[in-house]
Structure 1
Amino acid sequence: MILPDAILAHAAVLVVVLPLLAAPIVALIRDHRIAAPLAILIALASVVLALELVNATWGGETISYALGNWQAPIGIEYRVDLLSAAMALLLTVSGSLAALMMSTAIAPEMAPGDRPRLYAALLLCMSGLTGIVVTGDLFNVFVFLEISSLATYVLIASGSGRDRRALTAAFDYLILGATGATFFVIGIAFLYVVTGTLNMADLGERISDAGRRAVIVGSSFLFVGIALKAAMLPLHRWLPNAYAYAPTVMATFLAMTATKVSIYLMIRLTDVVFHTPGELGRVNFAALMPPVGLAMLVFGSAIAVTAKDLKRLLAFSSIANLGLMLVALGLGGVAGIAAAMINLFNHAIIKGGMFATATAIVHRRGSARLDAMAGLSRQMPVAFIFLVIGGLALIGVPLTAGFVSKLSVVRVAFDLGDWTVAGGILLSSLITVAYVWRIFEATMLAEPRSDAPKGDMHPAFWLPVGLLGAGTIVFGIWSAPVIELSTRIAHQMAGVTP
């Protein structure tokens, strides 16, 4: 235990409120040399709070925090179990790593006076996403979803200093994000009308007595809203441009967090509200997940082969990896949930490491285009090594976290005799070899341009890139921590004693 009991008792709310209240203060600071350290300090403090939550819930305990001392279901409840705490830790660590890189990464494309507002948007987005995973109130999920979305639009649009297409990408995401949020809140309204409650635990107790038709319609709206936020095929249109045209450091944060929270929501609603892991309210949406996930696996990998920009390549690779999580969820049961969580955590580390490395490369080379990376292996050998580590993990080479992720899903598929899933994963891995080879070809075999900037990564990127790259290898060799965490979460979700 790091924190005193007086603070620990309020950790469930402080992990959300601290960055939320700090964001406007950071935005008002005119000197970026003060705003940046303050944003980093707030993000790191949030990591400590999230660690305490993980420690407090590790044994299966659930923390219930009644806001304003109004007890649930009348008042708003923050309800934290191991899944919520682990997600909060992932979100706060991701925000901290992005904050550490931001000051250096955005310096070439943003005036010093504008930077504090971007730090504030990062804290606001981190607060909104963390609020989604700790709240026990369904309407609060919608509120925090909107907070994080509004901040995300700013983070994406801030890339317009380098590429004006960032504004178009932000507008596309605004329209599609608003559409998804509308579907989500309509679904909430249907469920509220037939149950009279918004507290998720209370909703789960009352929903069995609710009208079948209203529950089916409401859960369908919820599913479409979450599917859009999760970039499920064919609702993925916003993701490639958002990742490609946002500042690379912002793409690092979004790749580690945004779609992961949507997967969390899917798991949370199926468990707490509908009590049918993999399903949403008397409709077997789980049956859709394996075919949709396999389509995302193959489609995302195939389009990544054609990409000429590293960030766009990684964006389509993310769609493929999200498909793998959906396949795992669709397979169902404790093993399916555990496999989905293993993929969620490992993918955040792998893809975060690759985007962080891309941030360092763009800072030095000024472009993420593959043809701008000629000679990278000789001129930026450290960055090249971390690209290689991430690429091998995406393929699923043994001794990397990517191998553990794919193996976990393949094992579940074998146990169920689902050879289609196993074959789809193998096919996507073969396609992944092709687009990862394109990265190696551009960085190893092409001759460097004479005007290419000299020097390896800026020191500001060493810690984030190094931690994520090391995590990709460490959790491939020593996979026990991620597997145990994911298995504990799955057992708690299913109400099964390990």
Structure 2
Amino acid sequence: MSFLNAQAPILVVVLPLLAAPILSVLGNGRLAGLLCFAVVALQSLLAVSLVGQTLDGDVISYALGNWAPPIGIEYRIDLLSAVMASLIAISAALVAWFLPTAVADEIAPGDRPRFYAAFLLCVAGLTGIVVTGDLFNVFVFLEIASLSTYVLIAAGAGRDRRALTAAFDYLILGAVGATFIVIGIAFLYVATGTLNMADLGQRLPGAGRRAVVVGGSFLFVGLALKAAMAPLHRWLPNAYAYAPTAVTTFLAMTATKVALYLMLRLSVLVFDTAGEIGRVNFAAVMPPIGLAMLLFASALAVRERDLKRLLAYSSIANLGLMLIALGLGGVAGITAALVNLLNHAAIKGGLFTATAAIVARHGNARFETLAGLSRTMPVTFLCLLVGGLALIGVPLTAGFVSKLSVIRVALDLGDWIVAGGILLTSLITVVYVWRIVEAGMLGQPAEAGAGMPGPCSCCPWRS
């Protein structure tokens, strides 16, 4: 095994973490952007190597400082952890490629090195959450990711001052969620005397029930807020709408997915039952909450006149679908939730990337701007169309596989209400996707010369 493969568990976190302060002191924004892309590209290769090492079912245990767990901090990586780390790293690399072009009109040249540094800190924090096997380490990385995310969202103030309010709202709610999580961790530590998640799972059966129930409940609420689970989703629409579109693309592909992953990881690895956290069967409330999120968010998406906000509410709806799958439980339910997680990351990544192209060219993504998009930006419009069909769940798309997997689990359990609700929301999705298609194909461009091709931005590093 090569040195890089052997050290990959720590390098996927340390590499962006150490590169961030270096980028922040660079005076050249273009050089900082290039180095940012190089770092996350290398991180992607390391994350993919972790997938290869765990493909046969092996579990990588990496003890930091040679302090054996449970006393020392352990990075514990199985196939799911490696896939999640790859999702984060590859998403970051794709976003970092067009980041310089996307933020050209939103971030002042002198502020770009610090913006790239915050981006790398966010990547490091999210990656650390999925690879660490220490519960308090999870909290530390969660705070690193959250604090950098507040900065990234506020960076949108260069185009829209409402980004500051969105970042402040997320800061307040994120602080509440983090407080709940650290209180929950404290209760579990008092009850078991350990923070290593694998060791915690072994000690919990003999721990006091009251402390475990209280600690698990605090953990669940904190993670529900981070995952934008209704009714704790208030921060997400504004954060997605007013942050720089490239930032929104990355967050839509990773942030809430990591919170859901952590919820699943704790319920299965620590508490030994899918949907159960702290000996409380939270799985029972997930399907009704998820169904409410599906219907409520889809209905709100229909009335939106801004593409970014529309896609933000669509993301909340899709999060509801993942919660339903988790709540249905069993191997089939967990599998359906993970299929939805990965497919939705790809779908929303494509949709928000297309939206970033529209914002970079026209300055906003309101429906008036989308008028005639099929003629002025045909490739971008095609990406929106394909992504919209996937959101609906049209056969031969990833969205169809996602919805079918959840519906099959619901029907096997005889839950016709959930199955019917998913089909109903697909019809509502048709309505708001059609509004995008209608504007793009039937609308008239606002500018006479809007159909002229703009400068190529496929390579943001050219002079």
TM-score bracket, shorter-length normalisation: over 0.9
Matched with 2:211 is: 214
Alignment of 1:106-185 (within 5 A): 106-185=103-182
Question: How big is each residue's C-alpha offset from its partner over 1:241-286, in whole Å with a ceiling of 9 and x where there is no partner?
Answer: 0000000010000000000000100110011110011111211100
Q: CA deviation at 1:460?
A: 3.6
Which residue of the partner structure matches residue 99 of structure 2? 102
Residue pairs, 1:24-39, within 5 angstroms = 24-39=21-36
Q: Is the 8 A contact 1:380 1:457 kept in 2?
A: no
What pairs up with 1:374-393 in 2 under 5 angstroms? 374-393=371-390
Name segments (4+ residues, structure 1) moved above 6 Å.
Answer: none
After superposition, give the CA deviation of every residue in 1:272-319 in whole Å (9 maximum; x if it has no partner). 110011111211100010000000011110000010100000000000
The Cα shift of 1:27 comes to 1.0
Aligned pair 1:297/2:294, yes or no? yes
| Alignment partner, residue 257 of structure 2 | 260
After TM superposition, give the deviation of residue 457 of structure 1 in Å.
7.2
**Corresponding residue for 2:17?**
20
Structure 1 residues 332 and 274: CA distance shift in structure 2, 3 A: same
Aligned to 1:372: 369
* Aligned-partner residue type, residue 233 of structure 1: A
Q: CA deviation at 1:453?
A: 3.9
Matched, 1:86 2:80: no
User: Identity over the aligned pairs, expressed in percent?
Assistant: 69
What amino acid does structure 2 have at the position aligned with 1:137?
D
Is 1:445 matched with 2:446? no
Alpha-carbon shift at residue 451 of structure 1 (Å): 5.2
Match of 1:47?
44
Alignment gaps of 5+ in structure 2? none
> 1:350 is matched with which residue?
347
Paired with 2:115 and 2:83, the residues of 1 have a C-alpha distance of: 26
Q: Aligned AA for 2:35?
A: L
For 2:174 and 2:344, how far apart are their aligned partners in 1?
A: 23
How far apart are residue 34 of structure 1 and its match?
1.0
Q: Which residue of 1 aligns with 2:226?
A: 229
Aligned length: 460
Distance 2:76 2:27 in 1: 37
**Deviation by residue 1:209-230 (Cα, 9 ceiling, x = unmatched):** 0111111100000000000000
Q: 1:9 aligns to what SS in structure 2?
A: helix
Q: Assess if the C-alpha contact under 8 Å between 2:98 and 2:459 holds in 1.
A: no
Q: Is the 8 A contact 1:100 1:460 kept in 2?
A: no
Q: Is the 8 A contact 1:364 1:453 kept in 2?
A: no
Report the Cα offset of residue 33 of structure 1: 1.8
Matched, 1:57 2:67: no
- Shift of residue 420 of structure 1? 0.9
Pick closer, same or farther for the CA change 1:141–1:348 going to 2, 3 Å: same
Distance (Å, rounded) in 1 between the aligned partners of 2:415 and 2:422: 11
Q: What's the secondary structure of 1:88's corresponding residue?
A: helix
Structure 1: distance between partners of 2:452 and 2:183 = 53
Structure 2 CA distance for partners of 1:201 and 1:170, relative to 1, 3 Å:
same
TM-score norm. by structure 2 comes to 0.98
Deviation at 1:462, TM superposition (A): 8.3
CA distance in 2, matches of 1:430, 1:26: 47
Contact 1:380 1:455 in 2 (8 A): no
Whole-Å separation in 2 of the counterparts to 1:108 and 1:362:
10
Q: CA separation in 2, counterparts of 1:295 and 1:77?
A: 38
Does residue 67 of structure 1 match 2:59? no
Alpha-carbon shift at residue 450 of structure 1 (Å): 2.5
* TM-score w.r.t. length of structure 1: 0.91
Aligned to 2:391: 394
Structure 1 counterpart of 2:313: 316
Which of residues 244, 249, 257 is equivalent to 1:247? 244
Q: Structure 1 residue 337 and structure 2 residue 309: aligned?
A: no
User: Which of these residues, 175, 198, 201, is aligned with residue 201 of structure 1?
Assistant: 198
Native 8 Å contact 2:375 2:451 kept in 1: no
The letter for the 2-side match of 1:364 is R
Q: Secondary structure of the equivalent of 2:62?
A: strand
Contact 1:381 1:456 in 2 (8 A): no
Q: 1:253 to 1:431 in 2, by over 3 A?
A: same
Shift of 1:101: 1.0
The one of 303, 307, 318 aligned to 2:304? 307
Equivalent-residue separation in structure 1 for 2:127 and 2:337 (angstroms): 20
Matched, 1:10 2:14: no
